[in-house]
């Protein structure tokens, strides 16, 4: 062996309670390591068909064009915008966090004239404000984030959708940190296009982006006057590989990642969506009760706190990096740092998919108590854990 | 369990002798299934550092900007072109197969004025013809395919590079079916940017695209007047995640795919590049000897036949689909169909990475003899296998 060859991959076992990737079920890792087959193998085409149907179930949609894009969640964002926007089109993008900011950037790179509707990080977008903007701008596309991973804010969508429909625009929704963890009703809410990532509430490793396009979005795609700017993400071609008579080769799909997603979706549907959403809520309530007992509060106001991503205000005088470092190095627990204007001000504790469990709630509270004690904060030892247990018992 | 949940993934074991994905070593599948860690975890950053260095070794380059893009090979192609081309830039693309055709399409979507230099599928691009075109067009970028997966043609690059350098253009090379299987000398040949895929001669599942940018390409990137059209593939941002002080979050990297690539690169370097190239040649020679003994010939002329992708002319009267179907269903062997104008005219037998072995050469020849016999061709039974054995023995 050459001296320059590094040692083999042997990662430490982390408990993933950050903004994603989340915990992965052993079944999903086993599917990931199943023998690779060709991207045009009849077996793989069957897996693609089944995956599409399961994605429709999870998105709660009948949309034929519902696939897993061969990139991570941000590639899903780009897929929606680059296929729907042509140079000169008007877009309104709601910006109340890092991912709304990113969406505005992506839309501008598609050549669109972008108008942003901004609210401070941590707040949600009021439907009446959006209504006023879209009545004025008359955009082709409106983009909004359902679950802002950077702030922990949960955006209500039904009134937003009505405002968008009123001006006959297309509603594009970022469901990266919601799909599989809280209700996403593509058809019920009239969402025209949406994207997600595999590594959040679906509890699959990162690498694919579920995307769905409704009839109005497909019509816009079919009516394009210009080629989609991205060849790799061009749904006019990609859809012919995922369905239809030809199953025409476009690019070589990430075979094993699709195996993993298939297994992850099976787990979601076996649990049942409603049971899964309730589990996320229950563990979120327990975490919140425990944090409250420790004197910690949320960056987002009720009732807009995401159950999947808990943005917690870092107490005055506590060393952000030291706490996250101790959690990682002493306890093997990953939580997230704040992003953008929230850097150094919040911790982001994810309870997504497999990671949303009583075990992890108690563990992260207990470990956080140890870390705060190490910071000289001397919280009442066990208060956080006791608070969570009381919540599970129905006493809080 | 709901009735709508399909059965778990349980793929058949195929022998992958098509255009990719190729065979995967068990070690690589094991690394793929290692526990997921966060994309900013110090452990993952170390894996990224080691992967970059191993990619430099395999590309034979000192290029600092050498990374694995979070998409398949076609995303690598798009990464190179979308970062180097701005609207109105002139590009010359050499087209002698499906992937040159694709490169011209991608370059046009970047807003470039594209001039193509075309040769029939199966031929290579003569350097003097390219020299004449680039002297006339004076392009910013010249794109060419090193190993045309669609035709099996092996493009010499040294004189091409000299012609490109003479007009001070940037040379972008598609190394998808060459990297790790035959010599790729990024620095030695003066290649400015190159991309590959993980699922060919590196024998890793599909899902990542190794990309390298030399100093002149980085300079062009730094001098851009417009934003890169793709946010997801924008190296101005992606490079800050892969290296530098900040390791700033850009997108969530496909963690487990990067684990697998790390292990696949370790295998390549343990074997040694020169030994690996010689192995690919040796098994290619044996396959060719066996095919010749069966009366089958190549679609590409000597000395431009790729050792990694053998495009074999389908004999008159033989049913292309029936043979490929029998190989897959009876023997579990995947070979590739012809693409584009070569559809129905050639089979593409890949001997890439792990798949390039005497065992597979004898197996595919023996199985092909059975399939041709089923087609009523009654070849002399065992002639192909005998021819390959003679080649291994040094008698042919």
Assess if residue A124 is contained within a domain: yes
CA distance A350 to chain B (A): 12
Question: A276-316, pLDDT tens digit by residue?
Answer: 999 999 999 999 999 999 999 999 999 999 999 999 999 99
CB contact under 8 A, A266 and B16: no
The reply to whether B346 falls in a domain is yes
Q: What CATH number corresponds to the domain at position A100? A: 3.40.640.10
Q: Is the pLDDT of residue A3 over 60?
A: no
Looking at the DSSP bridge assignments, the partners of residue B144 are B173
Claim to verify: residue B242 and residue B302 sit in the same structural domain:
no
Structural domains of chain A, count: 2
Nearest to A252 among B20, B228, B256 (CB): B20
Which residue in the set A75, A252, A334 is minimally distant from B41, CB to CB?
A334
Of A9, A252, A259, the CB nearest to B34: A9
Are residues A236 and A347 both part of a single domain?
no
* Pick from A8, A108, A262: CB nearest B9: A262
Q: How confident is the model at residue A1 (pLDDT cuts 50, 70, 90)?
A: very low
Whether residues A30 and B30 touch (CB distance < 8 A) is answered with no
| Residue in this structure with the two tokens 């590309």, named with its chain if needed | B59
Break chain B down into helix, strand, coil percent, rounded to 5. 40, 15, 45
Q: How near does any CA of chain B get to the CA of A195, in Å?
A: 14
**3-state SS class at A124:** coil
In a domain, B21, yes or no: no
Tell me which residue range forms the domain holding A44: 26-269
Residue A18: inside a domain, yes or no? no
For residues A248 and A324, membership in a common domain is answered with no
**In this structure, what CATH number is given to the domain that contains residue A293?**
3.90.1150.10
Select from A8, A41, A109 the Cβ nearest to the Cβ of B263. Answer: A8
What's the rounded Cα separation, in Å, for the pair B320 and B336? 10
- Closest-CA residue of A relative to B228 is A109
pLDDT at B293 over 60: yes
pLDDT of residue B1: 43
Q: Give the distance from residue A365's alpha carbon to the nearest chain B alpha carbon, in angstroms.
A: 20
Contact B71 A73 (CB under 8 A): no
- Mean pLDDT computed over every residue of chain A: 96
User: Whose CA is closest to B32, among A260, A264, A32?
Assistant: A32
Work out the percent of chain A whose per-residue pLDDT is above 70. 99
Contacts of B13 in chain A (CB under 8 A): 35
In this complex, do B47 and A109 lie within 8 Å of one another by their Cβ atoms?
no
| Residue numbers in A near B256 (CB within 8 A) | 29, 32, 205, 207, 260
Q: Please check whether residue B156 lies inside any domain of the structure.
A: yes
Same-domain status, A232 and A330: no
Nearest CA in chain B to A71: B71
| Average pLDDT, rounded, for chain B | 96
Give B343-395 pLDDT, tens digit per residue: 999 999 999 999 999 999 999 999 999 999 999 987 788 999 999 999 999 87
- Residues of chain A found within 8 Å of residue B206, distances taken between Cβ atoms: 39, 252-255
Inter-chain touch A270–B2, beta carbons under 8 Å: yes
Domain end marker among A269, A300, A315: A269
Angle B302-B304-B306 from CA coordinates, rounded to 5°:
115
Residue B2, pLDDT above cutoff 70: no
Examine the pLDDT at A261 and tell me if it is beyond 90: yes
**B191 Cβ neighbours under 8 A, 6+ residues apart:** B157, B161, B171, B172, B173, B185, B214
Q: Which chain A residue has the Cα nearest residue B250?
A: A74
Q: Is B209 in the same domain as B90?
A: yes
pLDDT, residue A381, reads: 82
Query: Distance (Å) from the C-alpha of residue A251 to the closest C-alpha of chain B?
Result: 6
Q: A41 and B272: CB-CB below 8 Å? A: no
Average pLDDT of the residues in A124-131: 98
Domain boundary (B202, B237, B269) is at: B269
The verdict on B100 and B224 lying in the same domain is yes
CB atoms within 10 A of CB B226: 11
Q: How confident is the model at residue A396 (pLDDT cuts 50, 70, 90)?
A: low
A377 pLDDT above the threshold of 90: no
ipTM of the modeled complex: 0.97
Is the per-residue pLDDT at B396 higher than 80?
no
Confidence of residue A4 (pLDDT cuts 50, 70, 90): confident
B131 and B113: one domain?
Answer: yes
* Domain end marker among A237, A269, A301: A269
Q: What is the phi/psi pair of residue B395, to 5°?
A: -95, -5
């Amino acid at each position: 062996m050459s001296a320059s060859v590094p040692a083999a991959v042997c990662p430490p076992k982390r408990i993933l309670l950050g903004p994603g990737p989340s915990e992965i079920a052993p079944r999903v890792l086993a599917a990931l390591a199943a023998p690779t087959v060709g991207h045009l193998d009849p077996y793989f085409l069957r897996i693609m068909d089944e995956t599409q149907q399961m994605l429709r179930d999870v998105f709660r949609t009948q949309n034929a064009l519902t696939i897993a894009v061969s990139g991570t969640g941000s590639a899903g964002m780009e897929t929606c915008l680059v296929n729907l926007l042509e140079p000169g089109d008007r877009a309104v993008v709601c910006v109340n966090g890092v991912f709304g900011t990113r969406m505005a950037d992506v839309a501008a790179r598609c050549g669109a004239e972008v108008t942003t509707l901004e609210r401070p990080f941590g707040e949600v977008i009021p439907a009446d404000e959006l209504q006023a903007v879209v009545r004025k701008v008359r955009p082709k596309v409106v983009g909004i984030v359902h679950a802002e991973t950077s702030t922990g804010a949960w955006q209500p969508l039904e009134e937003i959708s009505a405002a968008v429909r009123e001006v006959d625009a297309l509603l594009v929704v970022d469901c990266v940190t919601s799909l599989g963890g809280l209700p996403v009703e593509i058809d019920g809410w009239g969402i025209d296009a949406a994207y997600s990532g595999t590594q959040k509430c679906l509890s699959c490793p990162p690498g694919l982006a579920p995307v769905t396009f409704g009839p109005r979005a497909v019509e816009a795609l079919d009516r394009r006057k210009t080629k989609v700017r991205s060849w790799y993400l061009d749904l006019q071609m990609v859809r012919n590989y995922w369905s239809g008579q030809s199953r025409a080769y476009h690019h070589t799909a990430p075979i094993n990642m699709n195996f993993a997603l298939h297994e992850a979706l099976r787990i979601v549907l076996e649990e049942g969506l409603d049971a899964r959403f309730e589990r996320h809520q229950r563990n979120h309530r327990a975490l919140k009760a425990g944090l409250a007992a420790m004197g910690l509060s949320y960056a987002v106001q009720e009732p807009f706190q995401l159950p999947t991503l808990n943005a917690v205000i870092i107490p005055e005088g506590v060393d952000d990096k030291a706490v996250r470092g101790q959690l990682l190095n002493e306890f093997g627990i990953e939580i997230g740092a704040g992003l953008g204007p929230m850097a150094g001000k919040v911790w982001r504790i994810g309870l997504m998919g497999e990671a949303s469990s009583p075990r992890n709630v108690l563990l992260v509270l207990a470990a956080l108590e140890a870390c705060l004690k190490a910071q000289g904060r001397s919280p009442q030892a066990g208060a956080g854990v006791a608070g969570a247990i009381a919540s599970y018992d129905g006493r809080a």
